[in-house]
Structure 1
């Protein structure tokens, strides 16, 4: 790979294909695959990721909000797109772009039925979400008859799938809880299908569900974080490849004397001579203040350089006293060896938060 000359996020599409193929290999031949590309494709660029996955023949996509789905359509995505958390103000836009809403409570259900009818829709595809223990979004089990009565009274929509979300599929200490979620969902699904008179697709598994609960793969599975190279445990991580490498460069090197300070609020005070490097990346780029003052670190020429002082909006300073380097040298913030999860762990957070925080002002470079 050519050396970085500015701050950039390299996306390895070969690693994305590896992760997609690995997760697909766990499925029965009839189980469909839904790729989750919300939050700007987990920080990687949703449109580019989705176009590549569409070429790999994924069956479905999911985003959180209508605006994200519109961006995919405008970039040429033709596969079905599930909007997981739509708001009524966007329903007409959603329909105009052939996006498929998750309907998760009576207000959303009734408002979408009204809009779909007003837009002269017939059997518009919708997805009904049930809450089985995550307690975030979703109808309750005892709402089945109510939902069915609403659906039977209209021809404007048809249920494409019913689904739920596992709360702790990565935690094998919570196996009983997860199995109970799966059992509850299957009970709801059976009753729902009997009540409305046809069988929608069923899906409940996220990435950890795919890997840990093959009996729950059902008609479709959903994978987000796994596609980007992370599971939720060391065991899950092992066969996956992180797709993103965050790189920057050394802008300037300083020689700091004993008693001098570095950065805002004199966040670091030197107890002796040291060398520091200033890097063009900061909290406006997704490297939050929680990584400052010795918590986070970067790699320069294969060696560890801790962040010192407070993280600035556009810059961080690192200790390079024991590193042979020059202004203009490449710096690895995270990547394949020192992963985003490793970096996130230094501030007691998770890979999800870090990779989705990388600002869109950081240049994305795609490697095939």
Structure 2
């Protein structure tokens, strides 16, 4: 693999394939697989990721917002796309691009029916979300009669799936709560089918649901973070491969004498003769200010170099006093060995935040 010559996010499509096949191996052959590619494919490249996953015959994609789905369609993606949090102002564009909305309350349901009526649609596929404990979005179990009555007054939409979202599937200490969510959803599904008169697809499992609750795989599962190489546990992390490596280079090396400061607000002051390296990456690239002043580190020549001083918009400085390196040498912020999860732990956050924060101005390269 060539050494970085600038700040770059390397995306390993072979690792993506490995993760997909590993997660798929947990399922029954009849269970469909939905790949979540929201937030630029968890900070990578949603269009490139989706195109590759189409070659692996993924059954569905999911995005958070309508503009994300439109970008996939413009890139040539033909696979069905579920929009998890659509906004009514964009419903016309959603319909024009054959995207499928999640409808989660009375207001959004009625507004989408109005939109499909205006656009002369018939049996447009929608997905009804139920709240079973996450308390974020979703109808309640006692809304089924209202949904049925509303559906009975229109021919413009049809329910392709009903689904819910597990709140703590990665935490086995919360197994009773998760088991109860699954039980509630199965009851909702049974009542929905009985009331509405037909059976839509059912799905509730996220990545940790796939790994920890095989009894809840149902008709389809949804995986986001797992595809990108993280299993929300030490055991499962070993079975998955992080697909992204964030690399940069050393722009300049400074010799700092005792008492000299580094960076804005003189936040770091040397307690002796030290060497620092300045790197061309900063908080505008996703390395937040919480990583400054020793909380975060980078890898140079296989050694940890702590971040010193405040993170700047376009640069960070690191302590390289004990590292034999030179200007132009490669620097790793995270990769398959020192992962985004490792970096996240230094600032008491999670891998999701680290990888999705990587700025779109950073060059992406792909390994196939």
The normalised TM-score by structure 1 is: 1.00
What SS class does the counterpart of residue 321 from structure 2 fall into?
A: coil
Match of 1:120 in 2: 120
Match of 2:71 in 1: 71
Match of 1:26 in 2: 26
Distance 2:248 2:258 in 1: 28
Distance 1:303 1:342 in 2: 14
Offset, 1:92: 0.4
Poorly superposed stretches of 4+, deviation over 4 Å: none
Distance 1:284 1:99 in 2: 32
RMSD over aligned CA atoms reads 0.4
Q: Unpaired runs of 5+ in structure 2?
A: none
The normalised TM-score by structure 2 is: 1.00
Match of 1:276 in 2: 276
Match of 1:161 in 2: 161
1:313 counterpart = 2:313: yes
Match of 1:178 in 2: 178
Answer yes or no: is the 8 Å Cα contact 1:208–1:236 preserved in 2.
no
What SS class does the counterpart of residue 160 from structure 2 fall into?
A: strand
For 1:332-343, list aligned pairs within 5 A: 332-343=332-343
What SS class does the counterpart of residue 226 from structure 2 fall into?
A: helix
Post-superposition Cα deviations, 1:188-243, rounded to whole Å, max 9, x if no partner, equal 00110111111000000000000000000000000000000001111221100000
Answer yes or no: is the 8 Å Cα contact 1:7–1:280 preserved in 2.
yes
What SS class does the counterpart of residue 136 from structure 1 fall into?
A: coil
Distance 1:351 1:173 in 2: 21
Q: Unpaired runs of 5+ in structure 1?
A: none
Distance 1:336 1:235 in 2: 15
How many corresponding residue pairs?
368
Offset, 1:155: 0.7
Match of 2:152 in 1: 152
For 1:85-124, list aligned pairs within 5 A: 85-124=85-124
For 1:192-231, list aligned pairs within 5 A: 192-231=192-231
Match of 1:84 in 2: 84
Post-superposition Cα deviations, 1:101-155, rounded to whole Å, max 9, x if no partner, equal 0000000000000110111001000000000000000000000000011111111
Offset, 1:169: 0.3
What SS class does the counterpart of residue 317 from structure 2 fall into?
A: strand
